[in-house]
Chains A and B, each alone.
Chain A
Amino acid sequence: MKRPPKDVIESTRTISRRALVVGTSQIAIMAVLGWRMQSMQVEHADEFRLLAEENRINIRLLPPSRGLIFDRNGEAIADNEQNYRVVMVREDAGDVGEVLSKLTQIVDIAPEQLTRAMEEMQRRSPFVPVTIAERLTWDDVAKINLNTPALPGIQAEVGQSRVYPWGADLAHVVGYVGPVSDYDLSRIDDQDPLLQIPKFQIGKSGAENKLEHTLRGSAGHRRIEVNAVGRVMRELDRQEGDAGKDVQLTIDNRLQTYAQARLDGESAGVVVIDLEHGDLRAIASAPSFDPNLFVRGISVKDWTGLNEDKYRPLAAKAVQGTYPPGSTFKMVTALAAMEDGVISADETVYCPGYTDVYGIRFHCWKSGGHGNINLHDSLKQSCDCYYYEIAQRVGIDKMAAMARKLGLGIKHDLPLSAVASGLAPDKEWKSSVRGEDWRIGDTVNASIGQGYVLASPLQLAVMTARIATGHEITPRLVRLIDGVEQPSGRGESLGLNENTLRRIRASMNDVCNNRRGTGYGSRILTEGYKMAGKSGTSQVRRITPEERAAGVTRNEDLPWERRDHALFVSYAPLDNPRYAVAVIVEHGGGGSSAAAPIARDVILQAQYGGAPPLDAYPANVRDKIAEQQRRIETRIPMGAKAQSRA
């Protein structure tokens, strides 16, 4: 069929016309595409560039190294050690099972650890290093490195972990670190990104906990380029964090370990204060525990063992335990009464062995009574009736005020866990807390440190320090932070009558150095090292009238939990005192027999800066002391690093 040319021309025109329409719309669409390109690539390029950077760059935190804790002699008591661990990268290993079995032939690894590592490897991407074992010895690391060709994917890495070279002996002071837990995160309001690092170690107790922010330092970071599945391609840059600041405590490591050793076998606590700056030279609590167990993650068995021990090794008895101070509180009653002028130093009170107060009979420890007795002798012989009398005269509120002035019943600000505030009771306290009226019997009980009165050994040591100096001594635990000296704890004069103080001190001198004093058995012979003190024996049970009539049961015949607490406070030397010590032996019996020898040994050790010569002791105890010194010298503290001492 032949088409006439006219037809062809018309058809060509139609096609051309419509082709222009189609072409124009195509160009319009391309213009839209071009405009969109321009808008994304030119106008909004920065936004998209930023998104691309966010995509490809990951920021990883670099944990800073934790600040060290030193004792006053510059010895590290909380140290960082190299922690060698072996990690495995699944994709480099090839046959994981075979490589692991080769590894176990070289290094001893527990089967549970292996299964845990295998499980984690299955969960993670193949290029993520998974820790197989930690805390390898240097020997193991050397073996692994030697066998690298046979162990594809296996690497030995080094990290840092906390170590407490002195183990249990400083556990209550230094505390310990442990991996941050969900509970920690919920409890503390801390935005530090470091806490988001899994298993990041933070201070859990003691100074480690309270000085956390000083010791932790701040995070560094490295920027790494990652691909879409999170594989690290390269490190772009790296900024190291600030290491934690070092801290020097006032604790004297040698005195501390001595005190700890001296308390072995007892459930007891000792506090030694240096009167120059209020430095705490030793805060010993026995029994103790190995803080290194907590760093590694304590086993359930160990944890239950520590918690169920009736001697409570986890409790820092020296600062956290509160006890009726017993006769050691008599200085407070005496000072309150003397300052108030309700009794003079020479005035005597008659002690028949008991005092009747509104029909209730209060007994003196000496059932026969002391007869007529004045302030000096009442302290020296620890007569109770004298204090029953003067307490009634001065009243509880003034006694409580004096107690607080001397550092009892107030919480001392120390970077330690659970510092006890004790209790210096007064009328207001009883009505607001107990909802009862104060009775005169409460005052009588309080006068000899029984009843509601509670004090920690730390508070008793502060009290002794303030009596010994007449100054407001505030205990200080931190000496230097990052090389900066912390404020001294020796404050202004307390404003007490110097004559009264001198009389009290003279009585305390006689307690130890007068033949009739309760602490005479624990006297120090060497001139210039002699100590003054006061014993205390606080009852933890009520003695019924029937028992008293039948004769009070002796401590030795009672079960341990019902025996009296033994206390002793002392300071030395007599002139220009330097150290104050408080000792508690839980359920130890009499203060002069159980606590005073400990106070003497510790204060001598403090004064000599080491083992004292035997002739400082009375001749009859020298053999026993020599034996004791030998035992302490050869002792290795629980959990201490044996090699670090060698």
Chain B
Amino acid sequence: MSYLEHNTKHVPTGLRKIWYINWPLVMLLSAVACAGFLMLYSVAGGSPTPWMEPQMKRFGLGMFLMFAIAMVPIWFWRNMAFVAYGGSLLLLLGVELFGEVRMGAQRWIDLGFMVLQPSEVTKITVVMFIAAYYDWLPNEKTSRPLWVALPVIFILVPTMLVLKQPDLGTALLLLMGGATVMFLAGVHWAYFATVVGAGVAAIVAVFESRGTTWQLIKDYQFRRIDTFIDPSNDPLGAGYHITQAKIALGSGGWTGRGFMQGTQSRLNFLPEKHTDFIFTTLAEEFGFVGASTLLLLYLLIVVFCIASAIGNKDRFAALLTLGIAMTFFLFFAVNMAMVMGLAPVVGVPLPLVSYGGSAMLVLLVAFGLVQSAHVHRPR
């Protein structure tokens, strides 16, 4: 039970809620999505099909969902957290059992009207569930080992399922998102220090395991790591993507080569140019000015979320908002670092820009929750 429920008289009701929506955030999200439409139009060679039109429809649907969710009081969503978490675990198991194999990974599940990627949904439900857990947990128990172990298990179960697909990027995002919420809730520093130490040890172990019978990660993941460390030793194979991406990005210069003038993307040198590597096209065509503007938009979205959370006295709302902001941050930071050659190539799309239904819808639903927290915050 949160403080909020006893102070509902200050919370807006009915359609008046519209006025309390975090409108700057809506504007920022729309601006980023518009940048995405523009780039999808460009990579299709100046055509709204096959990518821009469906993406716009999904954005429209997503915005509708966002507003719908924002209208519903945040405590309802807190009560739904367990159901959402349980549901997403079932979906992940469903993928494991009935999922479709695409591009060497088992990530998709066909719902009839759309193909869903449950791992995307999980990114939000885990954050939601951990936030609800700490909302329920009395403050003084936060750092006790048993009460720390529980959320760790809640995080690790879906992470393991996602890793099995295999989807290293999403697994990493789940882990980081969940851990961030735990950190924000006030779990003691020492736990994190221990985990980081163990993590370093684990990385060493993974590298040691290479080529042995107890090899811990798949060969293709090793190859991605190799390619990341030195893309030039396989310029036509695995290193080709990242090399071409860097060329596209770097050749943009200050102001870029102009809309639809990017040779790297127009002549198909760029891989996955409408999904994971769409940022390179933007950087190529609009240069440093365009790329840093997009980065600034993302920064503002994160800042607006943090600002909304800091002023929010409801524990669940604050933790959820910050957790979603962190997940969103991880999305674009990992994607950008990846195409700039600062991180290994793991399949993480650029949020709201990359073509893809699940990610777009899930993100807008997540921002619906953020809006709901904002609208229903105790005053």
A contact set with B: CB distance below 8 Å? 1-3, 5, 7-12, 14-16, 18-20, 22-23, 26-27, 29-30, 32-34, 36-38, 40-42, 44-45, 47-49, 51-53, 55-56, 225-229, 233
Which residues of A lie under 8 Å from residue B306 when comparing CB positions?
19-20, 22-23
In the assembled complex, the Cα of A229 lies from the Cα of B292 at a distance in Å of 31
Which residues of B lie under 8 Å from residue A11 when comparing CB positions?
139, 186, 315
Whether the Cβ atoms of A15 and B184 lie closer than 8 Å is yes
Whether the Cβ atoms of A37 and B292 lie closer than 8 Å is yes
Whether the Cβ atoms of B184 and A8 lie closer than 8 Å is no
Q: Per-residue CB proximity of B264-282 to A under 8 Å, as 1/0?
A: 1011110000000000000
B195 at the interface (CB under 8 A from A): no
Nearest residue, chain A, Cβ from B252: A41
8 other A-B residue contacts (CB within 8 Å) besides A19-B306, A40-B250:
A11-B315, A15-B185, A15-B186, A15-B318, A22-B184, A40-B249, A41-B253, A228-B268
Contact A228 B184, CB 8 Å, known A3-B2, A30-B299, A41-B283: no
Give the contacting residue for A33; candidates B250, B287, B302, B333; CB below 8 A: B333
Whether the Cβ atoms of A19 and B322 lie closer than 8 Å is yes
Whether the Cβ atoms of B313 and A52 lie closer than 8 Å is no
Q: What are 29 inter-chain pairs, A to B, with CB distance below 8 A?
A: A1-B1, A3-B1, A3-B2, A5-B3, A8-B315, A14-B186, A15-B185, A15-B315, A15-B319, A18-B184, A18-B186, A20-B306, A22-B306, A33-B333, A36-B340, A37-B249, A37-B291, A37-B295, A38-B288, A41-B252, A41-B287, A41-B288, A42-B254, A42-B288, A48-B251, A51-B247, A52-B264, A225-B267, A227-B266
Contact A37 B340, CB 8 Å, known A12-B313, A18-B186: yes
Which residues of B lie under 8 Å from residue A37 when comparing CB positions?
249, 283, 288, 291-292, 295, 340
Nearest residue, chain A, Cβ from B291: A37
Which residues of A lie under 8 Å from residue B248 when comparing CB positions?
52
Q: Which of B279-309 contact A (CB under 8 A)?
A: 283, 287-288, 291-292, 295, 298-299, 302-303, 306, 309
Whether the Cβ atoms of A12 and B1 lie closer than 8 Å is no
Which residues of A lie under 8 Å from residue B303 when comparing CB positions?
23
> Smallest CB–CB gap between A33 and chain B, Å?
5
Interface on chain A toward B: helix, strand, loop, or mixed SS?
helix
Which residues of A lie under 8 Å from residue B337 when comparing CB positions?
33, 36
B206 at the interface (CB under 8 A from A): no
In the assembled complex, the Cα of A276 lies from the Cα of B340 at a distance in Å of 78
> Smallest CB–CB gap between A46 and chain B, Å?
8
Contact A27 B288, CB 8 Å, known A15-B319, A45-B253, A49-B251: no
In the assembled complex, the Cα of A22 lies from the Cα of B267 at a distance in Å of 41
B310 at the interface (CB under 8 A from A): yes
In the assembled complex, the Cα of A9 lies from the Cα of B314 at a distance in Å of 10
B9 at the interface (CB under 8 A from A): no
B183 at the interface (CB under 8 A from A): yes
In the assembled complex, the Cα of A226 lies from the Cα of B267 at a distance in Å of 7
Whether the Cβ atoms of A55 and B310 lie closer than 8 Å is no
Which residues of A lie under 8 Å from residue B313 when comparing CB positions?
8-9, 12
In the assembled complex, the Cα of A23 lies from the Cα of B304 at a distance in Å of 11
- Greatest chain A CB density within 10 A among B244, B250, B266, B299 is at B250
Contact A228 B139, CB 8 Å, known A37-B283, A41-B254: no
Whether the Cβ atoms of B263 and A52 lie closer than 8 Å is yes
Contact A2 B185, CB 8 Å, known A41-B250, A52-B247: no
> Smallest CB–CB gap between B157 and chain A, Å?
24
Nearest residue, chain B, Cβ from A41: B288
Whether the Cβ atoms of A49 and B185 lie closer than 8 Å is no
In the assembled complex, the Cα of A228 lies from the Cα of B340 at a distance in Å of 20
In the assembled complex, the Cα of A48 lies from the Cα of B247 at a distance in Å of 5
In the assembled complex, the Cα of A30 lies from the Cα of B295 at a distance in Å of 8
Nearest residue, chain A, Cβ from B288: A41
In the assembled complex, the Cα of A45 lies from the Cα of B180 at a distance in Å of 36
Whether the Cβ atoms of B310 and A19 lie closer than 8 Å is yes
B342 at the interface (CB under 8 A from A): yes
Whether the Cβ atoms of A227 and B319 lie closer than 8 Å is no
Whether the Cβ atoms of B264 and A27 lie closer than 8 Å is no
Which residues of B lie under 8 Å from residue A30 when comparing CB positions?
295, 298-299, 333
Which residues of B lie under 8 Å from residue A33 when comparing CB positions?
295, 333, 336-337, 340, 342
Which residues of A lie under 8 Å from residue B263 when comparing CB positions?
52-53, 55-56, 225
Whether the Cβ atoms of B295 and A34 lie closer than 8 Å is yes
In the assembled complex, the Cα of A23 lies from the Cα of B303 at a distance in Å of 8
Whether the Cβ atoms of B310 and A16 lie closer than 8 Å is yes
Which residues of B lie under 8 Å from residue A45 when comparing CB positions?
250-254
Which residues of B lie under 8 Å from residue A32 when comparing CB positions?
342
In the assembled complex, the Cα of A7 lies from the Cα of B267 at a distance in Å of 61
> Smallest CB–CB gap between A271 and chain B, Å?
60
B218 at the interface (CB under 8 A from A): no
Which residues of B lie under 8 Å from residue A56 when comparing CB positions?
263-264, 267, 269
Q: Which of B210-255 contact A (CB under 8 A)?
A: 244, 246-254
Whether the Cβ atoms of A49 and B253 lie closer than 8 Å is yes
In the assembled complex, the Cα of A225 lies from the Cα of B298 at a distance in Å of 36
B329 at the interface (CB under 8 A from A): yes
Which residues of A lie under 8 Å from residue B3 when comparing CB positions?
3, 5, 8
Which residues of A lie under 8 Å from residue B251 when comparing CB positions?
45, 48-49, 51-52
B16 at the interface (CB under 8 A from A): no
B144 at the interface (CB under 8 A from A): no
Nearest residue, chain B, Cβ from A43: B250
Whether the Cβ atoms of B264 and A22 lie closer than 8 Å is no
B102 at the interface (CB under 8 A from A): no
In the assembled complex, the Cα of A40 lies from the Cα of B322 at a distance in Å of 31
Which residues of A lie under 8 Å from residue B340 when comparing CB positions?
33, 36-37, 40
Which residues of A lie under 8 Å from residue B310 when comparing CB positions?
15-16, 19-20
Nearest residue, chain B, Cβ from A10: B139
Contact A48 B288, CB 8 Å, known A19-B306, A56-B269: no
Whether the Cβ atoms of A41 and B2 lie closer than 8 Å is no
Whether the Cβ atoms of A227 and B267 lie closer than 8 Å is yes
Whether the Cβ atoms of A19 and B309 lie closer than 8 Å is yes
Which residues of A lie under 8 Å from residue B246 when comparing CB positions?
40, 48
> Smallest CB–CB gap between A231 and chain B, Å?
9
